[in-house]
Amino acid sequence: MAPVLEVEHLARSYRANLSLKKYWILRDLSFTVERGEIFGFIGPNGAGKTTTIKLIMDLVHPDAGAIRILGEPHQSVAVKKRLGFLPENPYFYDYLTAEEFLDFYGRLFGFSREERRKKTTAMLERVGLANRRDRQLRKFSKGMLQRLGLAQALLNEPEFVILDEPMSGLDPVGRREVRDIILSLKAAGRTVFFSTHILSDTELICDRVGILSKGELKAVGSVSDLLGHQVSHWEVAFSGIDPGSLPGILAVVSREGSETLATSRDEESMKGLVRAILERGGSLHSVIPQRASLEDIFLREIGR
């Protein structure tokens, strides 16, 4: 199957006012997004994630490189019929009501009045704003605006959905709702590309991630590939024995009364520690292998 998004050697620079020096925001960025997957685009603030998304959405022109969406050149107006987009911290016409707002976008898609009515109602239901349809947007909270933003992004039942920091500013409930929507999109066979700097969200739902730092793609691949199957260290919880005398301890994480949580570097030292605890008559509470978290990988990659 052809990739849904192909980014090839994308470059973008900017010049500070009146100076001749160019600053590169993106250099030679290349990646693809396959059909039906959820792709997480992660990176620290200022890495160039929003710029990349703006380039994909033809809001900004690249210095070099090519972008293809669903096989078409990304500027094609026709292909935008099959896209959905939610920008970061979106601003909308605050003088419109929720219903007028979605109706307006429906007209941009060329839907008939009947279609607009149906889709507007369906979308408002889906994002939980059905009882606010007559309220002006200027009275919406940030969470409500974000949900409405999702509604306009999904109004045309797009094949490919692009979201820039969709979870930003939301409380845990809101974040969970957005995650659920993204998963439901995947279940319906759509492709989702979203950027975020909150790693826990990505770990939970993404099929693949790309780590962007200072305009370069440091790593890209499926979550499990990146994390590896390796165990990075072991966590051992026990009580009744002073840890200072035990072998195989890499570090003591915490001590509370007689309860200790310690780490061991590898399986060998872990076994040595467990044996020692048992031999000396201590109580073993838990032994848990720790895999590298995405955060570890992330911090490692952006440090490179």
Partner 1 sequence: MTRIWAIASNTFREAIRDRILYLLLVFALLFMGFSQILSLLTVGGEEKIIKDVGLACISLFGVLTSVFIGVALVSKEIERRTIYTIVSKPIHRYEFLLGKYFGLVLTLFVNTSVMTAWYYLILFLKGFADPRLLLAIGLIFMELLLITAFAILFSSFSTPILSTLFSLSLYLVGHLTWSLNLLQERLKGAGGRAICRFLYFALPNLEIFNVKAEVVHQLPIPATLPLWALLYLVGYGGAVLAAACLILRRRDFT
Binding residues for partner 1, rule: CB under 8 A, are: 14, 54, 57-61, 77-78, 80-81, 83, 85-87, 89-93, 95-96, 100, 104-105, 107-110, 149, 152-153
29 vs 274, beta carbon nearer partner 1:
29
Would strands 259-264 and 231-239 be described as parallel, antiparallel, or unpaired? Answer: antiparallel
98 vs 153, beta carbon nearer partner 1:
153
Q: Dihedrals φ, ψ of 188, to 5°? A: -85, 10
**What's the closest the beta carbon of residue 126 comes to partner 1, in angstroms?**
17
**What's the closest the beta carbon of residue 107 comes to partner 1, in angstroms?**
4
Query: What is the DSSP secondary-structure string of 95-146?
Result: TSBHHHHHHHHHHHHT--HHHHHHHHHHHHHHTT-GGGTTSBGGG--HHHHH
Helix, strand, coil shares of the chain, percent, nearest 5, are 35, 30, 30
127 vs 211, beta carbon nearer partner 1:
127
Residue 204 has which token pair? 């939970």
**What's the closest the beta carbon of residue 42 comes to partner 1, in angstroms?**
21
194 vs 238, beta carbon nearer partner 1:
194
For residue 262, with 0-12 CB atoms within 10 Å meaning exposed, 13-18 middle and 19 or more buried, which class applies?
Answer: buried
83 vs 226, beta carbon nearer partner 1:
83
Q: What is the rounded distance in angstroms from the CA atom of residue 68 to the CA atom of residue 49?
A: 18
**What's the closest the beta carbon of residue 31 comes to partner 1, in angstroms?**
20
Residue 133: DSSP 8-state: T
**What's the closest the beta carbon of residue 251 comes to partner 1, in angstroms?**
46
